Amino acid sequence: MAYTQDQLTALEKALARGEHRVTFADKTVEYRSVDDLKAAIREVKRGLGTTNSACQIRITTDKGF
């Protein structure tokens, strides 16, 4: 599904206010818990390609002795 920045903004505003109901254009969604709302935010971010996933690469060497 294609998500928009407006949808992400609405979800984040609802989380900041402690609300469980979010309205996008003409649709209203009510989330059961804060965890559900956070999961929706992660999904939208993933869909928009804005996730900040850090990857740590560890390189080790030795002299072979």
- Is the confidence at residue 4, as pLDDT, over 70? yes
The per-residue pLDDT for range 8-28, each reduced to its tens digit, is: 999 999 999 999 999 888 889
Do the Cβ atoms of 41 and 15 come closer than 8 Å? yes
| Residue 56: alpha-carbon gap to chain centroid | 21
The answer to whether 43 and 1 have CB atoms below 8 angstroms apart is no
Residue 25: the pLDDT is 82
Cα 63 versus chain centre, distance: 44
Separation CA 12–CA 32 (nearest Å): 16
- Split at pLDDT 50, 70, 90, the class of 63 is confident
Asked if the model's pLDDT at residue 53 lies above 80, the reply is no
Token pair for residue 21? Answer: 């109901």
- Per-residue pLDDT at 41: 92
pTM of the complete model: 0.69
